[in-house]
């Protein structure tokens, strides 16, 4: 399954680059997004490096989820695809 990185988790003056918000097109409700909790995600950079993480919580009511990555994700990753698996 694939999702799209929508944004970082952020506040007014700060952003956490290792927390990302992911949207999956086939999921549109909060109840459907609960099935994705604790699944692993992996983003592959253009240079070939892979950054892994885990989906930890829901974000909002329209099916977005929040993943915590092992390291920070660069800003160029926003809008790109991320792989969601077990």
Every domain of the chain and the residues it spans: 2-85
SS3 39: coil
**Yes or no: domain 2-85 corresponds to CATH 2.40.10.190:** yes
**pTM, entire model:** 0.91
pLDDT value at 86 more than 90: no
- pLDDT tens for each residue of 27-83: 999 999 999 999 999 999 999 999 999 999 999 999 999 999 999 999 999 999 999
Rounded distance between C-alpha atoms, residue 43 and residue 49, angstroms: 8
What is the rounded distance in angstroms from the CA atom of residue 39 to the CA atom of residue 56? 8
């Amino acid at each position: 399954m694939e999702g799209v990185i929508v944004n970082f988790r952020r506040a007014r003056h700060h952003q956490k680059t290792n927390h990302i918000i992911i949207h999956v097109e086939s999921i549109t409700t909060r109840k459907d997004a609960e099935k994705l909790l604790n699944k692993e995600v992996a983003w592959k950079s253009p240079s070939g490096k892979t950054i892994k993480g885990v989906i930890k919580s829901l974000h909002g009511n329209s099916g977005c989820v929040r993943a915590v990555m092992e390291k920070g994700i660069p800003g160029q990753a926003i809008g790109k695809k991320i792989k969601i698996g077990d």
